[in-house]
Amino acid sequence: MRAPTGSHIAAGEVLLAVENVSLSFGGVHAIRDVSFDIRKGEIRAIIGPNGAGKTSMLNVINGFYTPQAGQITFKGQTRSKMRPFEAARGGIARTFQNVALFRGMTALDNIMAGRTLRMHRGLFWQIFRYGPAMTEEVEHRLRAEEIIDFLHIQHIRKIQVGRLPYGLQKRVELGRALAMEPDLLLLDEPMAGMNLEEKEDMSRFVLDVNQHFGTTIALIEHDMGVVMDLSDRVVVLDYGQKIADGSPDEVKSNKTVIDAYLGVAH
Amino acid sequence: MFYREAGQFKTDYASDQAVFPILQDRIGIVVIVLAAYSLVLAQNDFLLNAMMIPFLIFTLAAIGLNLLTGYTGLLSLGTGAFMGVGAYSCYKLTTIFPGVNIIIWIIVSGFFAAFIGVIFGLPSLRIKGFYLAVATLAAQFFLEWCFIRIPWLYNYNVSAAIEVPQRELFGVIVTGPRATAETRYLIVLTIVVVMTWMASNIVHGRIGRMWMAVRDMDIAAELMGIRLLPTKLLAFAVSSFYCGVAGAMLVFLWYGGAESTVFSINQSFFVLFMIIIGGLGSLLGSYLGAALIFMLPIVLRFVPPKFGIPVHAATVEHITFMTVGALIVFFLIVEPHGLARLWQIAKQKLRVWPFPY
């Protein structure tokens, strides 16, 4: 698999910066004045108790929600709102907390759908299929197969994903996101509901994606062991506010974070 | 056992991406197409005129609706009207330019239907499901109204109907009352076969995956960089194109003339039932659905006389209605995903026979 291209940002520099973003739904303030950045090549964890605004943050980053205030700088381009397809075009891929696969399609087709943006033959060629459309199809099938090999899902490629067990669905979803060859990969609880072994597998995949392909990863996860082991830096949200930001060790010993998770004695 | 792919090795992805990767399927398709063409030799006007021609035309309309409803997940009740657009535009085109080959006009009228389909597909970005069905209902009523109230569309005929003029193709009469059933059948069959092949190519490629992605999870599709509105409008365009061609063929190669009532809401429901019973999101389902809904009543009508049971014609009609209704309910209970799924299950059983799994 090719390393993601199209980015002029060197490793270690800021790939995505969120500045003073606020988001509210009516009277509910999901995110209040949060700023943080994601550097190229790192694994950035976003943690926090339930309802802290983590998923909302990801939704702001890839354009599902429009924040009321603040701006997002991605690859040097600053904007107050992203549109989902613009985010995709810019190289942001994502997986969902509750698997959002195309259930009626096979695992292979799901991964191939992830390559839609990189395929260009229009209706005219698709009508004939043989010729240029087929050449393109095969070329992208090769890429899809590389991802299938990488995730060890060869045996299920022709199975409808709706019929797959949960753990494999999560893996196919990761594959679909990888098929986009993203610069930034947003993972929303990739290990939710998994047993220890599946978590270890998934952690391995996350690390491999990061190291082999150099993909920057933003990760939401509740399993603190996983978060502390995988991530380079952690940002902690609570009630929509940022309460801590730093290396896993700094965050672990942060008083506010401990209070947020364990509660404060009154 | 009879249907096993054992020994058929694929050595490149092109052959694995083929529409029919299994040899038996490919042989089967060739046999079916050849058989369909050889029906001409039967010299049976009733078989061709009353059964095969309308069956194929409705199949094409069903494929059109299936591309929209089955593959893209957009419910439409405007099929009848889009067929009407095809029929009326073909009529206008051939009366304005009588010299041009009628087959070309039948195909071109599909583009008119596609254009109208795109216009009425615009609300689909905001509304889904039943609500979209109601929006397409507006198309149905508005276009039907146009077919009645705009006399220009039927060239100010006193009867308010379109009458198919006689047209020739390489010296053979193709349309009009003097065209033979064989000629019309061959043309319908060829158009339907070619357009089915094209539909199958589209749904197996990038565009088909985009449609299905929008159907299954539009939020995730958007995240893949699929823009919802162009994708949905493309589905409306292609679907209406198919319906338009089907409508033009319905009038030019089957009825020989039609008034606006032919393209009423009943026609829309008729085609919708075909794809629901045949199988949503399956081209084969379009064929099976059209066969069940259209051909079954005709076949049933001939069962009692064959056994020498003297039944009144009206009684036969009632019995047919009841039987078809019961069969539809039966099939839906046995397999809610349509006849196409039954065929898939049967295929799987054939593969592993004589073992249970």
User: CB–CB of A103 and B222 under 8 A?
Assistant: no
B234 contacts on A by Cβ (under 8 Å):
123
Give domain status of residue A191, yes or no: yes
Reduce the DSSP state of residue A31 to 3 states and report it.
Answer: strand
The whole-number pLDDT of residue B65 equals 96
* CA separation for the pair A58, A68 (Å, rounded): 15
Asked if pLDDT for residue A266 goes beyond 70, the answer is no
- Residue B50: which pLDDT band, with cuts at 50, 70 and 90? confident
The whole-number pLDDT of residue A4 equals 45
pLDDT, tens only, A192-203: 888 899 999 999
Do A78 and A208 sit in the same domain of this protein?
yes
Number of structural domains (chain A) is 2
Whether cis (ω within 30° of 0) applies to the bond prior to A190 is no
Query: CB contact, 8 Å: A243 with chain B?
Result: no
The whole-number pLDDT of residue B241 equals 97
Select the residue from A115, A123, A124, A183 to test the B interface by mutation, using most B Cβ atoms within 10 A.
A123
Average pLDDT over residues B190-200: 95
Residue that is last in its domain, among A117, A138, A168? A168
B244-274 residues labelled b (16+ CB within 10 A) or e (exposed): bbbbbbbbbbbbebbebebbbbebbebbbbb
Instruction: Report DSSP letters for B32-85, one per residue.
Output: HHHHHHHGGGG--HHIIIIIIHHHHHHHHHHHHHIIIIIIS----S-HHHHHHH
Do A81 and A185 sit in the same domain of this protein?
yes
Asked if pLDDT for residue B4 goes beyond 80, the answer is no
Residue that is last in its domain, among A126, A142, A168? A168
Do A198 and A263 sit in the same domain of this protein?
yes
Q: Which of B201, B209, B217 comes nearest A127 by C-beta?
A: B201
Query: CB contact, 8 Å: B207 with chain A?
Result: yes
Query: CB contact, 8 Å: A28 with chain B?
Result: no
| Domains in chain B: ranges and CATH | 20-352 (1.10.3470)
* CA separation for the pair B226, B211 (Å, rounded): 9
Query: CB contact, 8 Å: A133 with chain B?
Result: yes
Asked if pLDDT for residue B169 goes beyond 90, the answer is no
DSSP structural state of residue A10: P
pLDDT, tens only, B52-87: 999 999 999 999 999 999 999 999 999 999 999 999
User: CB–CB of A102 and B217 under 8 A?
Assistant: yes
Do A21 and A76 sit in the same domain of this protein?
yes
User: CB–CB of A121 and B216 under 8 A?
Assistant: no
Do A69 and A186 sit in the same domain of this protein?
yes
Give domain status of residue A87, yes or no: yes
pLDDT, tens only, A201-226: 999 999 999 998 889 999 999 888 88
Query: CB contact, 8 Å: A239 with chain B?
Result: no
User: CB–CB of A145 and B13 under 8 A?
Assistant: yes
Asked if pLDDT for residue A3 goes beyond 60, the answer is no
In chain B, how long is the greatest CA-to-CA distance? 67
CATH number at residue A257: 3.40.50.300
Comparing alpha-carbon positions, the chain A residue that sits nearest to B281 is: A104
The whole-number pLDDT of residue B1 equals 59
Give domain status of residue A190, yes or no: yes
DSSP structural state of residue B18: S
pLDDT, tens only, B116-145: 999 999 988 888 888 999 989 999 999 999
pLDDT, tens only, B220-264: 999 888 999 999 999 999 999 999 999 999 999 998 888 888 999
Do A58 and A108 sit in the same domain of this protein?
no
Do A37 and A139 sit in the same domain of this protein?
no
Q: Which domain does A151 fall in, by range? A: 101-168
CA distances from A97 to A169, A229, B122 (A): 12, 20, 31
Q: Closest approach of chain B CAs to the CA of A223, in angstroms?
A: 25
